[in-house]
Amino acid sequence: MSILILFCAIVIFSCIVTNKFSSKLGMPSLVFFMFLGILFGSDGILKLSFDDYDLTAKLCSIGLLFIIFYGGFCTKKICDVKVNAQAILLSSFGTILTAGFCALFCYYVLNLSYVESFLIGAVISSTDAASVFSILRSRRLNLKYNTASLLEMESGSNDPFAYILTIVGITMLQGSNATETLPLLFKQIFFGILLGVLIAYGALFLLKKTRLLTDGTDTIFIVAVALLSFSLADLIQGNGYLSVYITGIILGNSEIKNKLNLMHFFDGITALSQVVIFFLIGFLSFPHKIPEIIVPAILVTLFLTFAARPLAVLITLAPFKIKWNQFLFISSAGLRGAASIVFAILVVSESKNLAYDLFHIVFVVALLSVSIQGSLLPLIAKKVNMIDKFSDVRKTFNDFQQESAISLNKVIIQQSHPWIGQYIKDIHFNGKALILMITRDGKKIVPKGLTQILENDEILIGSTHTQSDIDINLCETFIDEKHEWLNLEIKEIDLPETYLIALIKRNEEYFVPNGSTKIKLKDTIVFYNI
């Protein structure tokens, strides 16, 4: 027992170390966890033989349910009906189209049976939420047109649909016909949604209306809720992943106590789940078998990346008439990862007599997708002009908290006020305040140096001092080595007329800038627009 615990500790410490190296090399850390599993495995340095697909499927399913729950819990509900519709269609209809296109490719090009082709399409049909979330956050990909929200919602919600297709494929492989498959399909969707909603609102009732929970037990309670949501739905042949995702969405977008602490806790649980899943995937693999399937695996990857995903996105989002650069980026962001391999392991554990090596084919597809496609995603975003320098991708997550809560005060310019007739450039503060906005005759004006103050103007002043309940739309952008504002003075920055830089955070301190303030590396620029 002690040896097993020691082994687990060594694995976790090793993953933390490789995570540090991966961030410096620009490669997703999940790939390093996978390679670490390979090093420990039968073909690696330690040559520890492991081929228990049943145990791996159970462990990975538990980890995946927390990843999917956290994906729902962390996805911030947005009011843009169009983006919501796009995400829902991509996660459902788009997933089915992707599976269908890949199945046709495997059937007609790779000459596999229709059931085997369907299974390959099913298990690789969903995008990987963990990989997408990780890249968007770690590389600060601030995207135009609410694309980050769209991708987060899609990648968080399409795993349940891929799971439904996988279950259908398994029943077909075991000899079930359409009359038996259709009722299963209905149960998966209906009970998955029903249990997810009921358990979420039941949990909210207990959290808000009762004194059942004491301090410190809310985290344990939410863990139990996630486990309950998955297991109850699964017991009555509902889709446990769909159920747990819906539960996460409802709880994450509700006002509950200690939400930020819950976010941090589940962030750790999800990170551990990713480590376990990707390590076990590498540990379970036999690299000496990869040459046998490398050609079909590469062909499937190429078709999936350059044909199936773009076609599915094009057909699904055609009614919305999205811009070409958004289409190219969404098509490129279809990363495959943990969920696909977990579903492949599930298929192997349920069906021992497959005519092809499904696990290693999907293993290679996911490895190529996360390592190559994932690493290139920031470059693609820049090349197709999808970077929005006036947004912050962190705001699309429920755990985002505005660090720069600027204090605001409103001054109404009366007849005797000394500022009447003065230009903004002639008004001097003590260096800790800035005029942010002027409201004149009901119209909002972004002040410039030559803006003249008139009687009855309402002046909004931002400072790092007193508190105010005045609402203003603040945004942040972080200055890295490649940012176009680096080493420029504020007066040299070509800002839209409705934007104004209000604060700069430098070395953990905030200050109000002026036109001669130079932007430096690692500054956080706080601005607003009207």
Are 121 and 100 spatial neighbours (Cβ–Cβ below 8 Å)?
A: yes
CA dist., res. 446 & res. 432, Å (int): 19
Per-residue confidence (pLDDT) for residue 471, from 0 to 100: 47
By DSSP bridging, strand 474-478 and strand 499-506 are unpaired
- Segment 140-189, tens digit of pLDDT: 677 778 788 788 888 878 888 898 899 888 888 877 665 667 787 888 88
452 - beta bridge partners?
423
CA distance 167 to 14: 35
Q: How would you write 145-161 as a 3-class SS string?
A: HHHHHHHHHHHHHCHHH
- Tell how far CA 200 is from the center of its chain: 21
- Six-digit token pair at 230? 């998955």
User: CA-CA distance, 364 to 360, in Å (whole number)?
Assistant: 6
What's the pTM?
0.71
> Cα dist. 130→223, 225, 267, 445 in Å?
19, 21, 11, 42
| Residue 395: per-residue pLDDT | 56
pLDDT on residue 256: 79
Q: 263-287 in b/e burial notation, b at 16+ Cβ within 10 A?
A: bebbeebbbebbbbbbbbbbbbbbe
Give pLDDT < 50 ranges for the chain. Answer: 25-26, 398-405, 465-471
The Cα-based distances of 191 to 1, 196, 312 in angstroms read: 40, 8, 27
Query: 237's torsion region: left (phi>0), alpha (psi -120 to 50) or beta?
Result: left
Structural domains in the chain, sorted by start: 62-396 (1.20.1530.20), 407-529 (3.30.70.1450)
Contacts of 462 (CB under 8 A, 6+ apart): 406, 407, 408, 433, 434, 436, 472, 502, 503, 512
What Rg value do the Cα atoms of the chain yield, rounded? 26
Tokens for 13, please give them: 């410490």
Q: What is the pLDDT of residue 409?
A: 65
Say how far apart CA 277 and CA 288 lie, in whole Å.
Answer: 21
Sequence-distant (6+) residues with CB within 8 A of 53 are: 284, 345, 348, 349, 359
Q: Are the C-beta atoms of residues 424 and 451 closer than 8 Å to each other?
A: yes
